[in-house]
Amino acid sequence: MNTPAHLIFGMTAFGRAGQAKVTAAAFAGSLLPDLSLYLLVGWHLQVLGTSPNVVFGQLYFSDDWQSIFRMDNSIILWGVALVWAFMARSPLLIALCGAAFLHLGLDFAFHHDDGRAHFWPITNWIFESPVSYWDPAQYGKIVGPVEVALSLLCCAILWRRFEGIWMRGLITLLGAIEFAPFLIFAIMFGGG
């Protein structure tokens, strides 16, 4: 799924009005499984000037990058952390680990040929979901719009939950980032 959708879903599931630290932990937990990807891609595209075709066609699937993704996308590691968070009865850690675990569950379900080794360190096996959040050959034309619709519904829930101007600004920004590509592609390719 798109990272903005992960952020929206994580804050909806684990963010709490009047508990800024818990909500920030939910936001961070939603982002952490994708953070290494953004850092690696940003470094290569913006600093090193590496071609996007090389970044997404070669480096993304390289052993070096996949070894990093195995760690921050491990259902095993995040699951252990979530159990520990519950045992510690820490709302902050539950929000952080729960949002990360939710992120991984959604990725597991909606990545076809670009998934991660979610069960590392037990195995390096990568599940190929029969559905994809983006690939039209794997129902992406159905899953993508559903993702956008659910994201906007969650934005409405978040809007009602949080009344502060900064949170509402963040909610609006995330909703716009999630919806804009859908709208652009619908305009560009709507006739075909």
Q: What residue ranges do the domains of the chain occupy?
A: 3-189
Task: Kindly report, residue by residue over 149-171, the tens digit of the pLDDT.
Answer: 999 999 999 999 999 999 999 99
Integer Cα distance of 72 and 122 in angstroms: 14
For residue 114, the SS3 value is coil
Task: Kindly report, residue by residue over 73-99, the tens digit of the pLDDT.
Answer: 999 999 999 999 999 999 999 999 999
Integer Cα distance of 100 and 49 in angstroms: 30
Integer Cα distance of 94 and 23 in angstroms: 11
Integer Cα distance of 92 and 133 in angstroms: 29
Cα–Cα nearest to 78, from 57, 98, 48: 98
pTM given for the model: 0.91
Task: Kindly report, residue by residue over 5-53, the tens digit of the pLDDT.
Answer: 999 999 999 999 999 999 999 999 999 999 999 999 999 999 999 999 9
